[in-house]
Amino acid sequence: METLMNDTEDQPLSAQASVQEQLRSLEEEVKEYKDKYLRLLAEIDNTRKRMQKEKQDMTRFAIDNALGELLGPIDNMENALKFTERMSEEVRNWAQGFQMILGQFRDALGNHGVVPFHSEGTAFDPNWHHAIETEETDKIPEGTIIQEFVKGYKSGDRTIRPARVKVAIAPGKNKGPTNPIENEQ
């Protein structure tokens, strides 16, 4: 470096310094764009993965919600068919066809993983159940579901519709203002 500076008579020192400056500045610029480029390369990959995941979640969510709207008419059909048990043979025969059609509606839900879950006799869980009634009893453990009024449905780990249930509570707790189950509602 020293030799270079001393030997160059026709090359002013300031010019050399400026060339060195230029080199440094360009090197910095290269580094900067290279960094930016590599960061963006990582980002585009993350964006792709994230959006792929979002796409799947959204699709799943959209199907679950659309199929969830069928639970009302399916409930109504189940309830209407229960009544036929007490009716004439003509109605009962005819109801068999509707029982089959009800099965087809259930299958359409089941094909997409939307299935009912069993609640009676299980422990109350606010993620899966809505307590709409309580009953004082010392015959079964507190928090046990005594009766299911409306069937719950799920899709994988997701609740499509919580079951509406009656829950056992310990005797004397019914009037308590801090009843945790009543607070769930």
Beta strands at 152-155 and 158-161: parallel, antiparallel or unpaired: antiparallel
- By rule CB under 8 A, what count of residues binds a copy of itself? 58
Strands in 163-169's sheet, in edge-to-edge order, are 129-136, 163-169, 145-150
Binding region for a copy of itself (CB under 8 A) out of 50-58, 120-128, 131-139, 142-150:
50-58
Which of 17, 85, 97, 178 binds a copy of itself (CB under 8 A)? It is 97
C-beta of 98 vs 149, nearer to a copy of itself:
98
Q: Where are the alpha helices (DSSP H) in the chain?
A: 2-7, 13-68, 71-83, 89-110, 180-184
Q: What angle do CA 81, 114, 144 make, to 5 degrees?
A: 75
Token pair for residue 7?
């030997």
Does position 70 interact with a copy of itself (CB under 8 A)? The reply is yes
Does position 115 interact with a copy of itself (CB under 8 A)? The reply is no
Q: Where are the alpha helices (DSSP H) in 69-136?
A: 71-83, 89-110
Does position 88 interact with a copy of itself (CB under 8 A)? The reply is yes
C-beta of 15 vs 140, nearer to a copy of itself:
15
Contact 165, 131 (CB under 8 A): yes
Does position 17 interact with a copy of itself (CB under 8 A)? The reply is no
The mark string for 150-179 relative to a copy of itself (x by CB under 8 A, - otherwise) is ------------------------------
C-beta of 70 vs 123, nearer to a copy of itself:
70
